[in-house]
Amino acid sequence: MSVICFGEALIDFLSNGKEPEAFTKYAGGAPANVSVAVAKQGEKSAFCGMLGDDMFGHFINNELQNHKVNTQHVRFTKEAQTALAFVSLDKDGERSFSFYRPPAADLLFRAEHFEPDMFTSSKILHVCSNSLTERNIYLTTITAMQHAKDNGLLKSFDMNLRENLWPSMNHCLERIWHVLSQSDVVKLSSEELAFLNEHAHPEQDQEKTIEAILKTNVRLLLITDGPKDIRYFSEAFSGNISPPKVQAVDTTAGGDAFVGGLLAELSRKLSKSAFMELIKSEKEIIDIINFAAKCGAFAVTRFGAFSSLPTRHDID
C-alpha cells in the first residue's frame, strides 16, 4: 500500500443552492476523500476507520471500493451511526457546515482495531485533526502515528480544522501541536495558521509560529490560501507558488484533492529516493506542489467530493 488514510468518513449532504433548498448525498470526510484522491492518481491507497453498520456506512464503503480504495482496514459498529454533514454553498462555492457528530461511529475506532501489517506494508500515513476531537480517538490517532514512526512511514497531517466538531476547545491546541510534532509533512490553510498564532502567541507575527512548527519534527510545511499563493517551508528553503486560476463552484474537496495529489506524487518519488534526500531538492518539492495545486484547482470546478477528484489523465 502506498498511502493509508486514517480518520473520519461521513456523508456530505450538499445543497443545490436554491429555494426551497434540496440536498444530495455524497460520500465524504477528509481522510476518505484523500484516500480516493490518491487512488484516482493510480497509487495504491487504503482507508482505515470506523463506519456505522447502517445504510450510510455501507454506502461510503461501497463508494470507496468503487474508486479502488482498499477497505480491508474499515470496521463497522452498531454502537453509533455514521456521521452526517449538511453543506451549504455561497456564490463563490465556499462552504458552511452543519455537523451531526458526536455521537458518531468514526469516534469509536480504538488502537486494538489496527492490524499490525497496516504499518508494515505502507509508505505514508495521513491523518487530520477531526480524529483528535475526543480523548479516545485522539489517543488512537497518536498510536497510529507512533506505529508509523516505528515502521519508517512518512507521516502526513492536514489540520483541516472544524471548530464546531470540538465539544470543547480546552484541549484543541495541545492535541494539534502534539500531532504536528509527530508529522513530517503538514498542510495548513491560512486561517488555520492564524488560529494557531492567535491562540498560542497572539502578540507575535505568524512567521514566529511557522518557525515553531519547523522546530518540531516537521520537514515540509505547506500553507494554502484558496486561490492565492501557496507558501512552502523547509529547513533549507522556502517560497511561494501560484495555483492555477479557475472558476470555483464547490470548494468541498479542494484541499483534499491538493493533499491527495501531494501524497500521490510523494509516493511515486519515494519509489526512487528516500524522503530525506527528496526534501533537499527545492526543484523536486516545487514540482510536487505544482502538481498538487493542479489537483486542487481541478476539484473546485466540480461538485461533490469523490466525484470531483482528478485522475492523473485529468491533470496531464
Domains in the chain, ordered, with CATH? 3-315 (3.40.1190.20)
Nearest to 209 by CA among 239, 224, 179, 188: 188
How confident is the model at residue 304, as a pLDDT?
77
Question: Parallel, antiparallel, or unpaired for β 95-100 and 23-28?
Answer: unpaired
Determine contact, residues 82/57, Cβ cutoff 8 Å: yes
What DSSP character marks residue 99?
Answer: E
Three-class SS of 260-315? HHHHHHHHHHHCCCCHHHHCCCHHHHHHHHHHHHHHHHHHCCCCCCHHHCCCHHHH
Please, is 216 exposed, middle or buried when counting C-beta atoms within 10 Å of its C-beta (0-12, 13-18, 19+)?
Answer: middle
What tens digit of pLDDT does each residue of 152-210 get?
999 999 999 999 899 888 899 999 999 999 999 999 999 999 999 987 777 778 999 99
What tens digit of pLDDT does each residue of 120-154 get?
989 999 999 999 999 999 999 999 999 999 999 99
Can you state the angle between helices 282-299 and 254-270, rounded to 10 degrees?
Answer: 140
Cell numbers describing residue 295: 489537483
